[in-house]
Structure 1
């Protein structure tokens, strides 16, 4: 079976590996910011459509020794690009990694582009054009030490951009991180869920999408693999239709999102509406001081501010203490989680965390704290 490589956010490799296994992947091997796995073409289509915690699915096609510009150009010319790219097609190159001689990704990508079009001109007299926005073929080149791996990018734009979220608040979570936090919290659709500081609604929307069995890829107009010469239209139609057929009309347990900011809450409602989840999430304008448990048990995930941009240290210390007091006094029987990038603020919660899970929010190291509320 073909081998694939899923790119993921740092610290979410194991979470993504579990998700890929659930989707049917075999020989799953987590690596730094990625997961290698195997599967057939149907799995490739399904992962792009259903994966919630990964960025891209790459299909490696060639690996070669690569020390410098000359060996890079030579290696790229060795690939039979006629199998993947016709002169009338457009393409784009994304380079990652580096070594001593190839230490600038833009230069690496440019050299790869030159090698591809030079080969096309030699064989046909014509060449493909570059389209960085909507290319027919997306090529990924990764340089590590003295090796280069060339892959076809089946996903194109990062899968964390679901396509439903034109409205965002301050410091929004990536959708992939939100989905991973739900997994790390061991939340499942039969448990009530609450985000008391929901901002533009990423966490409640991701929870509702999982509860209603909505594949995140359904919001995309197109995937790059549909342009590949070996694209199986009937297989893709089958996978796509199965995703449509399995959707639920409503979640089996309630999902709530609240925020004190009326404007940002309207953004959350807009995003939920674009997912056709308006009736699946209850949004309310609620100050944290007025927060009450809406059920006897459930999961709370909270992403309070922890950076200088969103408040001074004294105000945030008071906020974190307030969260701890409210959880303890009003949410007996619940399990609460807080994600924060500030260890000193985390101490202000005043509750003993039963788990401390290291995660990254973008490039920011954070801790996902679990509190059992008895």
Structure 2
């Protein structure tokens, strides 16, 4: 099989989580940059990474990287790329997205137009045709300019990978599935520990935790744009990746995961979403206020996304809400709790300084992942060996 380079975008601040995921799948990481991890793999990597990775937004097949300071330079270097190695004569191709940061070439619409013209010129010469029907498979191009360095990739995913297919109903400001999974993976939580989300909304954090605990691949129940690329990826590679996902899925897992919210209707939605994700057996959802939070067992985990207070009237209510959060959490003996919020005074009103604080950009919004560590549970005593000697 041929070897290619791929790059996977993620939320700024979560690159280390994505890097570990890629390495755990057996692929070599080439470079880690702000919001992006580049790695190498064969054709089957397109299938496996789209199906298995929990924390990236999409997988892009890297086509070229070069420097361009003018539109003429961009045109000529784009035209020099062997597009025919990837796009068939009837392929549908366009520059779906262009971004430019600290670069001399900065107009996204002009970048898109010039690159499309350059691609057409190249493919006209190769295929000896003047007009392209573009009625075949889709090959959306994404390009990024960073300090005049251009990175070009073909999107293999199509719809963003945070769209797992289970979340049909959402709350007002839902956390994305990819971000929820990354937050869980930043903690020491595992399927043998209790997990509660007291602001669960449509259930994303509990559902992602259950999928991690049962080792359910996030892309099992959706399709990907590159499934139609029969010239590049053999169909058997997709069948093999799905078979692998089914083989590693854990059956009969015992987990204690709970999701609470004040809104009874959104709790109903969370239950429906969990059923669609096929993890409803692992999660207990209930209408409950954070002030009523309690648990008899020790060493559990809170992972939650409470209100940020984006509107003025909501912001005014935040001090009282975060005081309530602090009071509720302090009553949970020996628990660890993890909170993502853009509210900069969260620690003040919770009444405790976080042991760790990680900055994560949720889109353009700067958020803080406050990590309050509880003690580790005592190690279980090893079982005594039975004396089977005669």
What is the TM-score when the length of structure 1 is the normalising length? Answer: 0.91
Unaligned runs of 5+ in 1: none
Q: Name which one, 1 or 2, has greater alpha-carbon Rg.
A: 2
> What do residues 256-306 of structure 1 show as CA deviations (whole Å, max 9, x unaligned)?
111110111122112112112221211011122222226433111121112
Match of 2:98 among 84, 95, 98: 95
Contact 1:208–1:251 under 8 Å retained in 2:
no
1: distance between equivalents of 2:296 and 2:39?
41
The equivalent of 2:379 in structure 1 is none
Unaligned runs of 5+ in 2: 376-390
Measured after TM superposition, the shift of residue 372 of structure 1 is: 3.4
Match of 2:258 among 256, 259, 277: 256
Measured after TM superposition, the shift of residue 145 of structure 1 is: 3.2
The equivalent of 1:337 in structure 2 is 338
The equivalent of 2:117 in structure 1 is 114
The equivalent of 1:146 in structure 2 is 148
Residues 92 and 187 of structure 1, relative CA distance in 2, 3 Å threshold: farther
Contact 1:91–1:130 under 8 Å retained in 2:
no
Measured after TM superposition, the shift of residue 100 of structure 1 is: 4.8
2: distance between equivalents of 1:277 and 1:245?
17
Measured after TM superposition, the shift of residue 47 of structure 1 is: 1.2
- Aligned CA-pair RMSD: 2.2
Residues 98 and 28 of structure 1, relative CA distance in 2, 3 Å threshold: closer
The equivalent of 1:166 in structure 2 is 168
1: distance between equivalents of 2:122 and 2:249?
47
Give the stretch that moved more between structures: 316-325 or 287-296: 287-296
Measured after TM superposition, the shift of residue 311 of structure 1 is: 4.7
1: distance between equivalents of 2:228 and 2:194?
38
Match of 1:125 among 114, 126, 130: 130
Contact 2:105–2:148 under 8 Å retained in 1:
no
Q: Secondary structure at the match of 2:372?
A: strand
Residues 294 and 221 of structure 1, relative CA distance in 2, 3 Å threshold: farther
The equivalent of 2:46 in structure 1 is 44
1:12 equivalent in alignment to 2:27: no
Q: Secondary structure at the match of 1:218?
A: coil
Residues 84 and 43 of structure 1, relative CA distance in 2, 3 Å threshold: closer
Give runs of ≥4 in structure 1 deviating > 6 Å: none
The equivalent of 2:388 in structure 1 is none
> What do residues 163-215 of structure 1 show as CA deviations (whole Å, max 9, x unaligned)?
22121111111111111110112211221111011001110010011111111
1: distance between equivalents of 2:261 and 2:251?
25
Q: Secondary structure at the match of 1:44?
A: helix
1: distance between equivalents of 2:301 and 2:40?
34
Contact 2:22–2:29 under 8 Å retained in 1:
no
The equivalent of 2:385 in structure 1 is none
The aligned length equals 370
What is the TM-score when the length of structure 2 is the normalising length? Answer: 0.88
Residues 147 and 110 of structure 1, relative CA distance in 2, 3 Å threshold: same
